[in-house]
Structures are given as structure tokens and as C-alpha cells.
Amino acid sequence: ARAGCGAVTAKSCGPTPRAGHVNPSCLDWEHGLINAIGLANPGVEAEVELLAQAKRQLQPLGVALIASIFAGDPAEFGKVAGIVAEAQPDFLEVNISCPNVHSEFGEPFAGDPEAAAAVTRHVKTAVEAAGIPVIVKLAPNVINLPRIARAVVNAGADALCAINTMPGMLIDAESGQTLLANRSGGLSGPALKPIALKCVYDVHKACPNTPIIGTGGVTSGVDAVEMLMAGASLVGVGSALYYRGATALEEIV
């Protein structure tokens, strides 16, 4: 926050504590990061206290707190959102890239317009009294991203975040083993930027009046400008912090 960002997004939390995947769960490769953290979190009951503490620290700096949630079904999303609202975050990000436990094939909510809209409606209802704007985080690996974006906006999303990581895999040729313990993971960093730009452009075209947080491979000021040119209202930075720490934000600003 002191390095110049306008908001800080917390790690996604869910209904119960999760240890996540075993190491190696995050690796630097030639063109970015690949991770399979596995939604590690202390559970919403513990997270809400951490969020309240973060809010108190950020408020004097004039920097917003974006809480983030995930769950196994739409009603559970609403329940988690209601608890998180007690910490009074400035915004609530809804991570719909996790698998839908009620789906026959465990398809992520992000891949189905109706499922994504159902989650959005439950979350909006849960935080309506608190007046917390809802941001839905979209996934890149879907058949029709504009259709899903329109569905969540029609269901009440106040803003969109594009995009989450892209599924990928790395194999060590010497041993014949995958580099992540989970075998596959999500790609972020510079390799993701062309995909993110295209997704932001498509989403902005489909929902021109909805604010978009553009994320994916932003490591320089020029990257940020490109993201804004694609249609983003705000720009998210993630992997750049791994490479250069908080100085990355100072350089981008």
C-alpha cells in the first residue's frame, strides 16, 4: 500500500480451513510463474479477523481492501460472503474458478453462465445490507467469456476481474516427472499477458459500462498502459511482486 497501489486484494478464503497442495506448489520458470497452491486458507471464521485487521491498517493510507472468497455451491458462496462482510472490506472479489461440487463433472462456476450468475446473485444478496460492491473474477479457459461476463453483470456484479491464471503443466525431461506436486497448475506472469489483454478487450466489448480490473502479466508501466488500452478500468499486479517486491509497484506507478 505504501508503494502506491490503490487497493490490496487478500488471498481467497473459503468455508473451512484448507492446507492446500504439498510442495513444490509454486515455481518460477522462464516466462512467469506456475502455481498449484490449492486454495490454502485458514477458513472464513479466522480470515474475517485478519481482514478486519488489514482494513484498520490500510484505512489511514487511503488504500482499499478487496476481500476474496470461494465455495463449493452458490448458497455456500452467500454464506461465506455474509461472514466476510463483517470485516467491512471495501470490495468483495468472488473467485468462481473453483469446481462446482454440485456439477456432475465438477465444472468450475466460471465455465457456465447460469452457474456463474447463480453464485453472483447469492453473494449480492448476502452483502446487500452492508453495501459492499461485488467483483466477479473470470477465468480465461472458457468457451464464451463475453457470454459469462454478461451473465454475471446481469445477475448484479458491480465489476469484473479479468483474468485468473491459465491452466498449464511443466515436465522435467531428465526425470520424466511434473515439476509441480499437483502435476498441473495456473500460469501467471509475462506469458499470460497476451491472453489477458484479449480477454479484457472481449469483456469490455461485451460489458462496456462495467468496470474491469485487468490482471495478467503486468510487470511494467507499459504493460499497465496496454491493459488500460484494452479496456481495463484498473490494473492488477501479482507476479511482478514476486520478481521485484514492492519496488515493482513504484516502477509501474
Give catalytic residue positions.
98
The rounded distance, in Å, linking the Cα atoms of 47 and 64 is 17
Alpha carbon distances (Å) from 124 to 7, 9, 12, 130, 173? 21, 19, 17, 10, 47
For the chain, what is the radius of gyration of the CA atoms?
17
For the record, the C-alpha cell of 128 comes out as 446487500
AA letter at 224: A
- Which are the contacts of 50, defined by CB distance < 8 A and separation ≥ 6? 10, 42
**Plot region of 72 (φ>0 → left; ψ -120 to 50 → alpha; else → beta):** alpha
**Helix extents (H) in 132-210:** 145-154, 193-206
- Strand, coil or helix: 232: coil
List the one residue out of 219, 218, 188, 201 whose CA is nearest residue 160.
Answer: 201
List the one residue out of 179, 163, 157 whose CA is nearest residue 23.
Answer: 179
Contacts 24+ apart (CB under 8 A), 51-54: 51/10, 51/84, 51/87, 51/89, 52/86, 52/87, 52/88, 54/8, 54/10
